[in-house]
Structure 1
Amino acid sequence: MSMFWLIAVVLLSLALGLPLLLLRRAERGSETAGAGERSALIAHCRDMLVALEHERSEGLIDEAAFETERARTARRLIAAEAAKNDDPVGACPAPIGWAALAMLVAGPLLVGVGVYLALGRPDLPAAPARVKETAREEGKDPASVQLPGLVEELARRLKTHPERVDGWRLLARTALDLGRTDLVLEATREGLKRAPDDRELLLERAEALIAKAGGRVTPAAILALEELARREPDHPAPRYYAGLKRLQEGDAETALKIWHELLSAAPEDAPWRDRIAREVERVETMQAMQEASPEARRSMIRAMVARLEERLARHPDDASGWQRLARSYLVLGETQKAVRALQRLRTLVPQAQRSAIDREIARIQQIDRPEKGRKKEDGQE
């Protein structure tokens, strides 16, 4: 117990000190955008409103998400038009004082400590650990019972404590892992109402909108990514998805340019480097295949499959790798290998995604049966 309170005091001190320092530095002021930039922003916002209307009419975005993104874009449009009409050399608001800063930073922290004193139990293991332990005692797979139950419990608690942004953040992240995009959109909507600058919520909202559209980078997702880029210009996600959007529009050259620039500026130990490098390799390989003869194309696919098989032997939990391997096997006509790759993929994805994989396996097996029958007849003849 004493160790818990020692750690709590240290973390509280850091949480108070660092934001105060950063906020104090932020008092130096900000630059105003030029008239040209404001005009471009106004035009962009108007285009996004039209695109959102199109997405709603096509059924790519639900009504709640549409209203949220439209309201966000409308606020940006109104602010940009107001700034365009205002005197750019207007008076700045007075800098916030140290006492006010302390109250702003310490207030939520002290409230959190108070809630924990009333409800928390530092002497017990974390809730996920307790769930895993109970599942093992009952002879069940902990992963199969842990997350869905925790998600429902967390969603229920947030209905009575909607002010907990950290709770909405956790709910969004966990629901995204489970493939429950509607719940992610609900969680990020509620969280962003209370913390519109939260980077994690903005990213999770964008990725949920992309997942809901079947992997397509939609205008609604671009809005969330643009908000993220304004708050954290060096975040890799907006640039990665900008490249993916270009690729989906048929502009592979621009997509590769964006991704190569992103990789050249990335630290060597960045956890997302490998993912983007694989995308670059895949797109460049597809470009080369389009220019090759059928025989050369088949040889290139086999070489790519061999590299992918070798990598998956080292990293067997790479779900996207198994998905690409299954597609490659299908291109080569090796349906049984494709089925085995999909079966492996099924063990790595959330429960909500497994039914789609089951349908794909059944479809492949249905196609494979007539083919086997024809081969058997040919052999008998």
Structure 2
Amino acid sequence: MTAFLIAAALLVVAVIALLLPPLLRTPRFSGSTDQSEANLAIFRDQLAELERERREGSLAEADFAQAKSELQRRLLEEVPAQAAPTTTDGGSRQTALALLVLIPLAAAAGYALLGEPRALDPLQRQARIAPEQIEAMLNSLVDKLQKNPDDHQGWVMLARSYKVLERFPEAAKAYERAAPLVDQDPALLADYADVLAQTQGGSLQGRPSELIERALRINPREPQALLLAGAAATDRQQFAAAADYWSRLLELVEPGSEEAGALTAAIGKAREFAAAQAGGSAKPGASAGAVSGEVTLSSKLAATVQPGDVLFVFARAEEGPRMPLAAQRARVADLPLRFEFDDSMALAGGKKISDFATIRIEARVARAGQAQSSSGDLFGTLSGVKPGSRNLRVLIDQVQP
């Protein structure tokens, strides 16, 4: 926008510079003032001579009139009119001033009527890409990658595009194809971990944590890896470790920034939780009846699943509503999977684990990718679990009829 306005202003100035000088310049005449005065003096002398000759009788009246007329004609030819300059000079200056004002106004009015003023607004100039265009571009990139599957940078670009669109399973698959590049880049490893966490309901346990640890081994100061490592430690109730990760990240952000403020608050809260643990108190905000354990898959069913199959782990009331008290989403590739449920994970408006004397833990490989059970799902359950139980073992060893 600024470049356009500057260019337009320069063009207006150029036009004015061409038009004004001739109008402001003082008019030049063919004769000078001194020459005009001399011609008038000669005219007066010659006219006086003619009148003297007429009085003496040496020049007849008719000859006097003819000579006077001839003298006046010659004077008109030699002396230009003197009245015009003042009027012309004033008119030129008025015209120049009028043009100085009217040209910019006319240019602005013309653009307002015939141009596109909204194009000067940066928000209006932002490209508006329809969803169909985005899909077409993605498909074009996919086609190129199918023809050149070793283009690891292209797979990373595709993964990031899918992540922006929140198509996390597809983003994870794209990152898998870029493994030779991702495995050497801590920033890509951290981003891959974030994508995988999104595919399992936000949980960073299992494969995401492994990727985060690898990223920090390559670069202990990788910002996203430190952020995710702290979040993963919090999920495991390792609050002192979370505070350590985030303290290292705090050193990398701008002091006094919004990010620094948020990190400082998170570090303080994590240290508070760590102190509560050290004093034998329960996790703040969680129930003393939290349950935790591990989910495994029977070796007899291992050949019937794929690493990308969706896995759900639920805590349900032994008797009462079917709505889960807590849930976790993951992938078969994450098995064996650690889980931990407490009252802080209760669904909005739902019951809590501590509301019941016993609960049931259920793990399900969902063929359709949905939380609802369907024929062909693999599952395992553990009943009679009391709130506060630890180190539980849930074995997936059954098939849904």
Higher normalized strand content (fraction of residues): 2
Both structures adopt the same fold (TM-score exceeding 0.5)? no
Instruction: Please report the TM-score for the alignment, with normalisation by the length of structure 2.
Output: 0.33
